A and B are shown apart, each in its own frame.
Chain A
Amino acid sequence: GAVVSQHPSWVICKSGTSVKIECRSLDFQATTMFWYRQFPKQSLMLMATSNEGSKATYEQGVEKDKFLINHASLTLSTLTVTSAHPEDSSFYICSALDRGDSPLHFGNGTRLTVT
């Protein structure tokens, strides 16, 4: 079945540094990928929709200059958390759309801890 690989699975960084998270569709082409954020014991909140070859669409309240999204190919989208701060510590999950009528496929998530 379709697989979405997310890397790294966890990362610890110092405040002020930037962190890049990769989301790859391994056996299908994903024209659209989605980035979610999940705080402990809370649900997933959509951050942005990433479309291959175009600018990402950000949800209200999400800073596009802080969370840089690049979808340069049909199999890879990246989320870069710039100048990370402790409040950015969270679980980030990506998902990818295979076809318009198919379920989303989710990555295993990235646990970001900013110290």
Chain B
Amino acid sequence: KQEVTQIPAALSVPEGENLVLNCSFTDSAIYNLQWFRQDPGKGLTSLLLIQSSQREQTSGRLNASLDKSSGRSTLYIAASQPGDSATYLCAVQPTGTASKLTFGTGTRLQVTL
């Protein structure tokens, strides 16, 4: 059974700092990995999707890497802003199961002024 873990569970940083969120998964047979953002009481916003054949994806200040063999992904946020405060979730889609995602435990990020 796939298990997805995110470290740290919570993180507080001052505005402007660069930060790294970690995601690890136990079964490397994945189709893709996604990073999502969730604001309190809201649904999910997809940030980045990395196919299993890719090593990284970038969108603006966000960069996600994937090391499938070691079961790890990182989300790098550059020059953090208070508006980045949210919970960040990673999710893996296993091979052979159409979009049946397994979510990580999430990292609650707070960016302070």
Contact = CB atoms under 8 A, between A and B. Distances in A.
A106 B99 CA distance: 12
Contacts of B99: 32, 34, 95, 97, 100, 104
Report, as a range, how many residues of chain A touch the other chain. Answer: 20 to 34
B105 interface: yes
Contacts of B4: 43
B43 A107 contact: yes
A55 B69 CA distance: 36
B69 to A, nearest CB: 23
B55 interface: no
Interface string A101-112: 001111111010
Interface of A: 4, 6, 32, 34, 36, 41-46, 49, 91, 93, 95, 97, 100, 103-109, 111
